[in-house]
Structure formats: C-alpha cells, structure tokens
Amino acid sequence: MKKYLPIYEKGDHKWYCLYKDPKRASHLVGTKEYVIQSGSSVLLTDPGGTEVFPEIVSSIAEIVDFAAIDRVFCTHQDPDVFSSIALWLQIKPDLKVYLPKIWLGFMLHFAGAANTFELIPDEGMSIPLGNLNLQAIPAHYVHSSGNFSLYDPEAKILFSGDIGAAIIPKDGDDPFVKNFDAHLPLIEGFHKRWLGSNEHKNQWCERVLELDLDFLAPQHGLIYQGKMIKTFLEWLHDLKVGQIVY
C-alpha cells in the first residue's frame, strides 16, 4: 500500500496525495497520484502504471468509498500515466477517463472502447466533480504534444503532471519542496530533456502565473507550496528546454 497524505480538506471537498511506494523497484520512476473528492464523486489523477496498480487500489480503499471513484484524469499518454487503465476498467467498467483528444487512437490499442473516454479538446474544458468545476488547462508540448494540467480553483491546487517533476531516490520521497536550491539538481536535467518547446513552455508558465494557487502538484517528485510556486515558475520560464543533456 502507498502512503497517503491529506493536502486539502474543506467539508466534503478533499485532496489526498499518494506518495510513497515501499515496494517500488529502484529502476522504476516513482509516481504521485492524487485523489480528489467532492461530495459523492471521486477523481483520480494520472492513475499510474500497471506495476503500482495493486498498491494504489489498496491505498484508495482506505481513503474513500471505492464505489465513488467515477473519474480518472490523464495528463497525457505515457506508460507511467496510463498503463493501469486496462486494469481499472476491469474492476470499474463505467469509469470516465478524461484524455487529451489527440491520443484516443493510440490509447485504444491497449485499453477501453471509444465510449470509455471523455476527450479533452485542445483548448481545454471544465470537468464536473460533485459541486466543483475542475479546469483542464492546456500544457501542449510541455512535455507531450497533447497534454493538460488540472486546476481546482476552490482548493487552489494545480495538478501539473510531469511539469515540475523531480527524479528522486526512493527514500527521498517526502511530500513538499523545502529548499529550491537543493531541489534544482533533481529537476533541471529532466526539464531540459523532456520539455520540447520553449514557446509553449513559456505560454504555460504565463498562464499558470495568473492562477490563484496554494499548491502545484506534479506526478513525480515533490509538491511546490506557497511562494515556492512562483520561484519554480520563474525558474522554468528562464530555462532553455529541448536540450540533449543525457
């Protein structure tokens, strides 16, 4: 079972972060998943790879009523985001899977039917969850060609997928960034190599700087909180990406 941490709670509106997987093999990149609850609806972000599926199911069952999970949000198509979907659909065949529109034809090669997916158009969309309207915010080419972040304006949390991601050792998987300078070596190479477009990266940074945010929560690494968010966004804006650094 993965460890989990409540990062926001107001009435029946809650965010949990699943963050530590003691069984993860050291050659696998660690992932964070987020469980968002509003009333009787629950959404899971970037549900993860097949290898972590049992750990995630057992953690979620501790947090919320398992029957209430009715939505999954996928920022993009990578295996660490998406490959557990076939397993999820076996146990929850009515699950609504939100996916960037351009990836549908590729995703159907290994999971679901066309009516499994709620396709997010390039310009983004609102995603209803209980009393909330979450927003899919375009993040194309940062890093995937069809890519979204998920914004919760009530909780002031942006789930950023691979943007802000850090490759951290298994025993360093603490929830929050505490010292940006110490964090920098864990994010710099990843962002230079895996983000391909400076133009689109800068547009995303400018878009996100306008949001009211308390947390910026990536799929890997550590969560940026408070003033650390602006520090990260300004660093990312200045960074030259699309570099072969490995």
Footprint on this chain of Fe ion (rule: CB under 5 A)? 78, 80, 162, 219
For Fe ion, which is the closer residue by CB, 100 or 132?
Answer: 100
CB of residue 143 vs Fe ion: minimum separation in angstroms? 6
Instruction: Give the residue at shortest CB distance from Fe ion.
Output: 78
Q: What is the spatial distance between Cα 112 and Cα 87, in angstroms, rounded to a whole number?
A: 10
List residues bridging with 73 in a β-sheet. Answer: 45, 98
Q: Is the CB of 64 or the CB of 173 nearer to Fe ion?
A: 173
What's the rounded Cα separation, in Å, for the pair 60 and 44?
9
- Output 33 or 152, the one with its CB closest to Fe ion: 33
Which stretches of 83-241 are assigned E, i.e. beta strand? 96-100, 117-120, 125-129, 132-138, 148-152, 157-161, 215-218, 224-225
In the complex, the smallest distance separating the C-beta of residue 165 from Fe ion, rounded to whole angstroms, is 6
Q: Give me the least distance between CB of 78 and Fe ion, in Å please.
A: 4
What's the CA gap between 213 and 150, in Å, rounded? 12
Instruction: Give Cα 24 to chain centroid, integer Å.
Output: 18
Smallest gap from Cβ 140 to Fe ion, in A, equals 13
Of the two residues 153 and 175, which places its CB atom closer to Fe ion in the complex?
Answer: 175
